[in-house]
Structure formats: structure tokens, C-alpha cells
């Protein structure tokens, strides 16, 4: 196994990607490298764009296949991550503009709405709450059973 493939596999195991997702992403990056006859480490954003155009216009790939390829390239770092960003002074109603330190790409980022159903605002709190509830469970199988009690037994 090449060092790049090893690193990519480790990077996907940290956030607990499923084995199927890891296999699909490794295959997608391998096809990307084969398309250009070079190592993915030597390829940059221009090659990523050319591959995307090829997938959509020439190969007529489905949206799911295209999405897998793009996500795999993000994990392999062939696409800049945009993870490091700084807020720009421009104001948006309810948000701000972030700019990537690597490439300068700008994106809108909205302030927290504090809604428990919002995936951006409360996903970490929800995950922590679920983890705490899972820790309270006994290590046994659980079954949810619903039944009706006759009025004679429980007249309420």
C-alpha cells in the first residue's frame, strides 16, 4: 500500500467512515490518478476540474457517482479543504463571509439559530446528548413493545 493510500485510509477511519465508503473513495482516487497517469499527490485543482467536466459531460456519470468522486478527492486533499478560514468584515444579515487562507475562496457563513433541529447549530450538542444517553443504557438487548391493556384491568 502506498503512503498516500495509507494516509487517506487513516484519515477516513478517524471520523469513522464505513468500510464501503472507504473502498469507494480509494477506488475513485485511483481512477482519478489513472485518468491523468500520475500520482494524486502531483495533481491539483485544475486536474480536479478537468476530471469533473469529463465525468459530467463525456462519461455522463450519475449524480451519486459524481458526488463520490468529488468527496473522495476532498478527502485525498486533491481539492483544497477550505477548513482554515477567517471572517471578513463584510456583514450579511444573520451571518458573515468566510475566506479560505489557502486559496482565498469566499463562502457565506450564517450565525447560530440555536434550533435543536438545525444541523449546523446543534449537531454537536445533539451528538453529545446521544452519547450521554447511550452511556446510561445497560449492556443488553432492548425491545420496544406496545400493547393495549383492557379497561377492566386499567380503567384510567
3-state secondary structure of 28: helix
* Per-residue model confidence (pLDDT) at position 82: 42
Per-residue pLDDT of 75-124, as tens digits, reads 776 444 444 455 555 555 666 677 766 666 676 666 667 676 666 667 67
- Secondary structure element (H or E) that encloses residue 87, with its range: strand 85-92
- Most confident of the following: 3-7, 92-96, 138-142, 144-148: 144-148
DSSP assigned state of 42: G
Query: What structural domains and CATH numbers belong to the chain?
Result: 3-75 (1.10.150.130), 85-123 (no CATH)
Confidence class for position 137, pLDDT limits 50, 70, 90: confident
**CA gap 124, 118 in Å, rounded:** 11
Q: Which has the higher per-residue pLDDT, 136 or 110?
A: 136
Q: Which has the higher per-residue pLDDT, 128 or 88?
A: 128
The mean per-residue pLDDT over the stretch 26-45 comes to: 83
Q: Residue 125's CB: how many other CB atoms inside 10 A?
A: 11
Region for 145 from its dihedrals, namely left if φ exceeds 0, alpha if ψ lies in -120 to 50, beta otherwise: beta
**CA gap 59, 116 in Å, rounded:** 41
Amino acid at each position: 500500500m502506498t503512503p498516500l493510500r495509507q494516509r487517506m485510509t487513516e484519515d477516513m477511519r478517524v471520523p469513522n467512515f464505513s468500510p464501503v465508503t472507504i473502498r469507494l473513495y480509494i477506488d475513485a482516487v485511483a481512477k482519478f490518478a489513472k485518468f491523468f497517469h500520475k500520482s494524486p499527490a502531483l495533481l491539483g485543482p485544475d486536474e480536479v476540474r478537468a476530471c469533473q467536466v469529463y465525468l459530467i459531460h463525456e462519461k455522463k456519470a450519475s449524480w451519486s457517482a459524481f458526488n463520490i468522486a468529488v468527496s473522495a478527492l476532498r478527502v485525498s486533499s486533491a481539492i483544497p479543504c477550505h477548513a482554515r478560514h477567517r471572517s471578513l468584515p463584510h456583514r450579511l444579515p444573520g451571518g458573515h463571509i468566510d475566506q479560505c487562507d489557502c486559496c482565498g475562496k469566499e463562502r457565506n457563513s450564517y450565525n447560530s439559530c440555536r434550533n435543536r433541529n438545525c444541523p449546523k447549530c446543534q449537531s454537536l450538542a445533539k451528538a453529545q446528548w446521544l452519547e450521554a444517553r447511550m452511556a446510561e443504557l445497560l449492556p443488553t438487548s432492548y425491545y420496544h413493545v406496545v400493547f393495549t391493556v383492557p379497561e377492566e384491568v386499567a380503567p384510567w
